[in-house]
Structure 1
Amino acid sequence: MGRVAGEPPEDEVLWGEPVGAGQLAAAEEGYQAAGPAERLLWERLSVFEGAFDRRAAEEVCGYGALAGAVGPVLDRLASLALLPVDDLFDGEDGGPRFWMPHAVRAVGARRLTARGDRWAVVLRHRGWCVRVARRAAEWWQRGRQLDARDLALRELPDLAAGMDPTTAPLSPSDETGTALEIAVSLWFLWVACGRLVEGRTRLRHILSLHQGPPPARALWLAAFLELEMGRPEAADPLLVQAWAGAVRDGDDHCLGLLAHLRGAVALYQGRPRAAAAEFREALRQIGDVPDFGPTREACWASLALCFSRTDPEAAQEALDRLELEGAGRRTWAGRDLYADAWAHHARAELLAWDGERARAAEHARRALREHLRLGSAVGAACAAELLAQMRLLDGRADRAAHLLGAVDLLRTSVFDTSYRPGKYCTVARARSEEALRELLDDPKLREAYEEGARIGLFALSRER
């Protein structure tokens, strides 16, 4: 069954060095010197996989003999058993953060098990993980997208434990509901922030242990991840199962999400008319203030992409609607950075259509920078290939080749060899490569690609 949460093996590393008998002895000595309340908190804190603040400690450990007393006990314990953690995260104030070294955790975990209190604390920890994931999802929907991403990444060691049903006290199948809720709440981290492989691996693991019909939203996410990984054929059966589940559960919002995803599949496959029909259906079913998944602004941006190469007026109308709805949203929330990035991409296509090369290049560069800021490899690659087209139109073949070389490095570092970009992106890439081959011979083109890979997309995105 493997290691339980909060119980590190003795051979784990501590600041790059193996945890030895001396460190364990020192931790045991510190435990013996602590008072009863400090020992109890020490034991309960051992379930944390990563750093924690006062609020987290109170939620997980503040019951029974420690109810209402975690704060002062934590202050006394900090100098005895914890290490302070520098945290630049600008979110809700939970006070200073601490990390429990592995040797200290091992001592606490053993004592907690001996006390017979382990599973009660583990379950409280998993409940806290669910609340953290929900908070991150809410922040994403309310326009605090960078905060949401940073919160999820900051707490990811513990959230990962919550997403592993095999580390919980009950049977794995009994814990998949909690694990799925955490994984699905973090959909934006996997899809929009570039952690596709991790999200797909975790979700597949949970679903493999789930008994009974999987939740429709979990299947929606599984299909979305398959598409983003370049496997639309693997997304199709999941879409069918998810639709049946959403109808069964009366989940109208999920039906809207599925329409959006069917549109994304169609756009990937080069069927813009079918994609546009699905995105319009998504707009009809997704509420004004969706609590989960892509926003209405993201749907309008996707609709603009459908028309950006064939119907400029329809594309501009979709962008106008995005701005109109976005202005209303910003009266109660921040911007949808993910939708904005794709909107910049669509604007670049339209401006290039009108012959405004400089403005088109600037919007393509903005799309690239926004995708890189969020961490989206798929979006960054598409934006960089579009920017390469703009550089070619400006007579800057070397910079176009640099961008394509950097994209190749990005894709090979994120995806496996089975990955294939969608037709929407491959059209732009094919045009650029054809033009480059006419301007540069093979050795020079290969050298330019290698140079671009060395420079990297972050540096290239700063060039005007």
Structure 2
Amino acid sequence: MLWGEPVGTAQLAAAEEGYLACGPAERLLWERLSVFEGAFDRRAVEEVCGYGTLAAAGVGTVLDRLAPRALLPVDDRFDGEEGGPRHWMPHAMRAVGARRLTARGDRATVLRHHRRWCVGVARRAAAWWQHGRQLDARDLALRELPDLAAAMDPTTAPLAPAEETGPALEVAVALWFLWVACGRGVEGRTRLRHALALHEGPPPARALWLAAFLELESGRPEDADPLLGRAWAAAVRDGDVRCLGMLAHLRGAIALHQGRPRAAVAEFREALEQLGEVPDFGPTREACWASIALCLARADPDAAREALERLERDGAELRTGAAGRDLSADAWAHHARAELLVRDGERARAAEHARRALREHLRLGSAVGASCAAELLARLRLLDGRPDRAAHLLGAVDLLRTSVFDASYRPGRFCVLARERSEEALRGLLDDPELREAYEEGARRGLFALSWER
């Protein structure tokens, strides 16, 4: 049976027959495994199902006996911390297990274990992101997203929805990087709004921070402002200094989006004073320095270079012994270096940094970052006398933006300026049919292919 295939009567009958052929321990594990929405490994099974008569010491053995009867192997190798081979329970088997679990009266208990496991997965992914394992963090979150999505929906939990919003909001906030830096902002905004709508009492400051950040990522900074005010009041009330630092960073990002770089720099510097060495959530210190360099690249090159040096120094100090760097900050730092090299007349080196920024943003999944980098690269193509290449890039950007964002999305002023100059120059170099054809060609080829052109 394929994932998502409708369950028929014959499949249900076969699953029921298989269930009845199992021993008591295998039946109990079968029932408890029905709470998983996606694939799972041995460690997940131990944490969610390994209690009571299925104590963790023995649940692995029971899993080995049950797997050939009720589970399918899943080949999704992962380079992070492994929990052994992964399995998936087909829908017919899940339906039989869920019905029996409910009849036994244990569904609420197993779901609570499942929610606790989901919170742990989200926290682990967040920690990996903050400590330089960003691709591992993204891949872990995506791998477990079917179950994490269930944990972010309070209406699927055993208690009243209002009583389940705490874990839902914690998971959503821990996965902030998936929504903001990895291009899944629309999904994150939807899930967070749903959980906040069911929350009773004052919302947590960090959830409001994320809600405001997602409005900015959606191109609506004006909708972020009221959420910022509420988040600041909540963070002051709770004494959450780290969140106050993240709110300063977000105010800086909004100022940069609106074309106020000096104000943005002041906010980013305030954020650096409050974040601590390795924040437990949100953008890193390297991200703040990259943002400062981006703000100053066009107005104060020396200060921008100093910010990039601080990024490298802070990164080297904080990441000693870690698995990697802050790839998102590195991508924006490449963008800032490209801007500086354009000013110095070193267009070939500038183009190389712009390409690296584009490829890194694409690797992470950031449509905002990829679009800005591609528009900078298009400007460089124009300066090199290659208007067709520039138009290809802009056409691919248009396709990316329309596929990710709705009609209300408006890019930040920082990127708009480069786009406006490029379009004005293109209209003077290509006639309308040529320009339209070049845009369409770029959209057909896509940014990934174009990012490798020299």
Q: Same fold (TM over 0.5)?
A: yes
Corresponding residue of 2:178: 189
Contact 1:42–1:77 (Cα < 8 Å) also in 2: yes
Q: Which residue matches 1:363?
A: 353
Paired positions, count: 452
Task: Note the alpha carbon deviations across 1:185-230, whole angstroms, 9 max, x for none.
Answer: 0000000000000000000000000011100000000000000100
Alignment of 1:39-78 (within 5 A): 39-67=27-55, 68-78=57-67
CA shift, 1:15, in A, is 4.0
Aligned to 1:392: 382
The alignment partner of 1:18 has SS state of: coil
Are 2:272 and 1:266 equivalent residues in the alignment?
A: no
Calculate the TM-score normalised by the size of structure 2.
0.99
1:353 has 2:343 as partner = yes
- Structure 1 window deviating more from structure 2 (321-330 vs 450-459): it is 321-330
Tell me which residue corresponds to 1:450. Answer: 440
Change (3 A) 1:280 1:374: same
Correspondence for 1:3: none
Q: CA deviation at 1:16?
A: 5.5
Q: 2:407 aligns with which of 414, 417, 431?
A: 417
The counterpart of 1:132, out of the listed 100, 117, 121, is: 121
Instruction: Report the alpha carbon displacement of residue 14 of structure 1 after superposing the two structures with TM.
Output: 4.5
TM-score (norm: length of structure 1): 0.97
Task: Choose from 421, 428, 436 the match for 1:438.
Answer: 428
**Structure 1 position 311 matched with structure 2 position 300:** yes
Residue of structure 1 aligned with 2:69, choices 77, 80, 100: 80
| 1:84 match: secondary structure | strand
**What SS does the aligned partner of 1:278 have?**
helix
What is the CA distance between 1:329 and its match in structure 2? 1.8
* Alpha-carbon separation, structure 2, partners of 1:379 and 1:361: 16
Q: What is the rounded CA distance, in whole Å, between the counterparts of 2:375 and 2:369 in structure 1?
A: 10
Deviation, structure 1 residue 404: 0.1
Q: Which of 131, 152, 157 is residue 141 of structure 2 equivalent to?
A: 152
> In 1, distance between residues paired with 2:325 and 2:81?
19
Distance 2:108 2:4 in 1: 30
Determine whether 1:297 maps to 2:297. Answer: no
Q: Secondary structure at the match of 2:87?
A: strand
What are the superposed Cα offsets for residues 3-26 of structure 1, whole Å, 9 maximum, x if unpaired? xxxxxxxxxx84464211000000
Residues 391 and 293 of structure 1, relative CA distance in 2, 3 Å threshold: same
Aligned to 2:318: 329
Counterpart-to-counterpart distance in 1, 2:111 and 2:453 = 50
Offset at 1:88? 2.2
1:379 correspondence with 2:378: no
CA distance in 2: counterparts of 1:253 and 1:125, whole angstroms: 29
- Counterpart of 2:12 in structure 1 is 24
- Residue by residue over 1:127-162, the C-alpha shift from the partner in whole angstroms, topping out at 9 and shown as x without a partner, is 000000000000000100000000000000000000
How far the C-alpha of 1:91 sits from its partner, in A, is 1.0
1:82-101, aligned counterparts within 5 Å?
82-101=71-90
- How far apart, in 1, do the equivalents of 2:6 and 2:375 lie? 46
Work out which of the residue numbers 139, 161, 173 in structure 1 matches 2:162: 173
Structure 1 Cα separation of the partners of residues 453 and 96 of structure 2: 53
CA shift for structure 1 position 330: 2.2
Aligned CA-pair RMSD: 0.8
Aligned partner of residue 272 in structure 2, secondary structure: helix
Runs of 4+ in 1 over 3 A off after TM superposition: 13-17
Please give the secondary structure, in 1, of the residue aligned with 2:73: strand
> Is the 1:14–1:102 contact (alpha carbons within 8 Å) kept by the matching residues of 2?
no
Residues of 1 paired with 2:446 and 2:3: CA distance? 30
Specify the SS of the correspondent of 1:456: helix
Supply the distance in 2 between the matched residues of 1:434 and 1:14 (Cα, whole angstroms).
51
Match of 1:98, SS state, is strand
Alpha-carbon distance between aligned partners in 2 of 1:450 and 1:289, rounded to the nearest angstrom: 44
Partner Cα distance (2:266, 2:5) in 1: 58
Unmatched segments (≥5 aa) in structure 2: none
Query: Residue 188 of structure 2: which of 186, 192, 199 is its match?
Result: 199
Amino acid at match of 1:32: L
- C-alpha contact (below 8 Å) 1:141/1:291 kept by paired residues: yes
SS in 1 for 2:164: helix
Tell me, in whole angstroms, the C-alpha distance in 2 between the residues paired with 1:142 and 1:310: 32
Residues 371-425 of structure 1 show CA distances to partners (whole Å, capped at 9, x for unaligned) of 0000000000000000001111111111100000000000000000000001000
Question: Greater CA deviation, 402-411 or 285-294?
Answer: 285-294
Deviation, 1:462, is 1.1
Closer, same or farther: CA 291–32 of 1 in aligned 2, 3 Å: same
TM-superposed CA distance for 1:87, in Å, is 1.2
Structure 2 SS opposite 1:310: coil
2:152 matched to which residue of 1? 163
Residue pair 1:137, 1:186 contacting (<8 A) in 2 also: yes
Identify the match of residue 236 of structure 1 among 225, 228, 232: 225
2-structure distance, mates of 1:138, 1:179:
18
Q: 1:214 to 1:16 in 2, by over 3 A?
A: closer
Aligned-partner Cα distance in 2 for 1:43–1:102: 13
* Letter paired with 1:400: A
Q: Deviations over 1:300-354 (max 9, x none)?
A: 0000011111110011110011011111122132200000000000000000000
Mapped contact 1:176–1:207 kept (Cα < 8 A) = yes
Structure 2 match to 1:122: 111
Alignment partners' CA distance in 1, 2:364 and 2:351: 20
Amino acid of the residue matched to residue 295 of structure 1? Answer: T
What CA distance in whole angstroms lies between the structure 2 residues aligned with 1:113 and 1:401? Answer: 59
